[in-house]
Amino acid sequence: MFLYFLKKLGVILPTFFGVTLVAFVFIRCLPGDPVLLMAGEHGMSEERHAQLMAVYGFDKPILVQYGYYLKQLAHGDFGTSIITRQPVLNEFKTLFPATVELSLCAMIIAVFFGLPAGMIAATRRGSFFDHTVMTGALAGYSMPIFWWGLLLIIFFSGILGWTPVSGRISLLFYFEPVTGFMLIDSLLSGQEGAFTSAVSHLILPAIVLATIPLAVIARQTRSAMLEVLSEDYVRTARAKGLGPQRVIGLHALRNALIPVITVIGLQVGVLFAGAILTETIFSWPGIGKWMVDSIFRRDYSAVQGGLLLIAAIVMFVNLAVDLLYGLINPQIRHTD
């Protein structure tokens, strides 16, 4: 297992350096003077320009600059936002819980509905339910989620007036963040109605973000289940007289879950991509909206830092999924 871990790490490390290289090159590929971009100052004098060149190290050879950048990263310095003058890492830390909360809720919705839907569809293959689930899943997979979010706003916020249009909680409530998760913080604050308000703000964005993972999980569960159901050991279990619930719940499901877990792990990248759109539509103050806003504000050092941090998180989660997978399924860690 340790060897397997080392092997995975051996793949991840060069990739991580590649990612830092992309983030490093990004800011140097932008059209315009890098010093002006980084400093965000207008009408600076020649001396100030030269001084800043030296401060940012742009006067040094490119390799030295890259080394300097890596050294900064190693010290946990991901740059300073041009607009807010705050360290990028701090901004990221304050906004990150909002994205995690949204993504977790979306993932819970996706698994909670996708897994049973795929399972039942597989056991009743060819039935009306099966066709409905598969058509729905394909539609969900094909969904432009930014439009889907707007539709839900029209219907639930506009026509029915059930949910608010944007934000994480009503402005009527204020409390210091403890965990950064609004659902938990609102409960801890003990203010009446705070939790309900948080839920009503969260529900639509979570549904929108859950759509694609839900479709993928339902499809994957169905196909994994169908494959397992045709295996000999399932036939054996049936032949020895086990009830269908026991066969499906105990024998089939456990084996069908292995590929499904991988797929769930792989959705982390999808969730981040979806968060960019979902957070923009619902003005959800998370990482996705922050990245889009930073691009529009030309706050390129925030974009650079955010890009690197997001890639690092996605890679870390994928590594964790790989390790978990190797733990569940010994075959994996002994092959390749």
61-96 core/surface letters (b: 16 or more CB in 10 A; e: else): eeeebbeebeeebeeeebbbbbeeeebbbebbeebb
Decide if residue 150 touches another protein (CB under 8 A).
yes
Decide if residue 84 touches another protein (CB under 8 A).
no
Select from 181, 272, 284, 290 the one that contacts another protein (CB under 8 A).
272
Decide if residue 160 touches another protein (CB under 8 A).
no
Residue type, 159: I
**CB-CB neighbours of 28 under 10 Å:** 12
CB of 191 to another protein, least distance (A): 29
**CB-CB neighbours of 250 under 10 Å:** 11
Cβ(269)–Cβ(314) below 8 Å? yes
Cβ closest to another protein, residue 4 vs residue 175: 4
Decide if residue 62 touches another protein (CB under 8 A).
no
What angle in degrees, to the nearest 10, is found between the helix axes of 128-141 and 194-229? 120
Residue type, 300: Y
Tokens of 292: 């889009």
Cβ closest to another protein, residue 4 vs residue 16: 16
Decide if residue 153 touches another protein (CB under 8 A).
yes
Decide if residue 226 touches another protein (CB under 8 A).
yes
Q: Which stretch binds another protein (CB under 8 A): 68-76, 100-108, 190-198, 270-278?
A: 270-278
Decide if residue 36 touches another protein (CB under 8 A).
no
Give the separation between CA 277 and CA 330, rounded to whole angstroms.
Answer: 38
Cβ within 8 Å of residue 127, ≥6 positions away: none
Select from 201, 222, 251, 333 the one that contacts another protein (CB under 8 A).
222
Q: Applying CB under 8 A, which residues contact another protein?
A: 11, 14-16, 18-19, 21-22, 26, 29-31, 125, 135, 138-139, 141-144, 146-148, 150-151, 153-154, 157-158, 219, 222-223, 226, 269-270, 272-274, 276-277, 280, 291-292, 295-296, 300, 303, 307, 310-311, 314-315
